[in-house]
Structure 1
């Protein structure tokens, strides 16, 4: 359609009555690459948390032997805790050198781990 043949009344009628611009609503369906990568990362983290499983449950005697050996040899350990978080998934293993103990707690990387909460403990390389 050329400028000479266009009907200005027809255009005005279309813009006034027929055409409805959705404004910003049309942009809300688009995700930025930052958003999609953040969502993918979060879903991967959630899947890895769901996939965590316990090692074989150790007796209190076995746990004590590993703790004593780790302290004497300054060897890093990885501890599976028997507690779960609010979502019902297992907590990440606590890994590091045993810095000491206080009452019924081990001190690992400035964090206290109750000995009663240890499900399994094994030597680690960090």
Structure 2
């Protein structure tokens, strides 16, 4: 490099002020509002209570799904702090006992199930 170009570089860095985070705030704000919007939509979603089923009906559907390797959709009796039903648990029946079922690795007590049906896309 020549002495003249060295001087230009030195002058540039002597007077340069990095805007720091200011140059990234537009991107971060956009990502943040997008994420908040997704969370708000998820919170606003309401899952209607499905018709309660007897333990015998629940067991029958789960046994058929287990034997035929079919997907099921399970609504639990449990509600969140706002008294709203949680999203259905969807998966295959991996195991079955007298009082428990394992759906996609999650242990569920049969007493906690409100409704179960074969899952259709």
Asked if TM exceeds 0.5, the reply is yes
Shift of 1:103: 4.9
Give the structure 2 partner of residue 44 of structure 1. Answer: 41
Give the direction of change, closer, same or farther, for the CA distance of 1:114–1:88 in structure 2 (3 Å limit).
same
Give the greater-gyration-radius structure (CA): 1
Q: What pairs with 1:96-115 in structure 2 (closer than 5 Å)?
A: 96-115=91-110
Task: Mark the runs of 5 or more structure 2 residues left unpaired by the alignment.
Answer: 1-27
CA–CA separation in structure 2 for the residues paired with 1:32 and 1:98: 42
Give the structure 1 partner of residue 68 of structure 2. Answer: 73
Aligned residue pairs total 94
CA–CA separation in structure 1 for the residues paired with 2:66 and 2:84: 29
Q: CA offsets per residue over residues 54-95 of structure 1, 9 Å max, x none?
A: 221112221122112112211111100001133432122111
Q: What pairs with 1:1-126 in structure 2 (closer than 5 Å)?
A: 32-48=29-45, 51-125=46-120
Instruction: State the Cα RMSD in Å.
Output: 1.8
Structure 1 stretches of at least 4 aligned residues deviating more than 4 Å after TM superposition:
none
Q: CA offsets per residue over residues 23-56 of structure 1, 9 Å max, x none?
A: xxxxxxxx821222122111111111xx111221
State the TM-score, normalized to the length of structure 1. 0.66
**Residues 55 and 110 in structure 2, CA contact (< 8 A), matched pair in contact too:** no
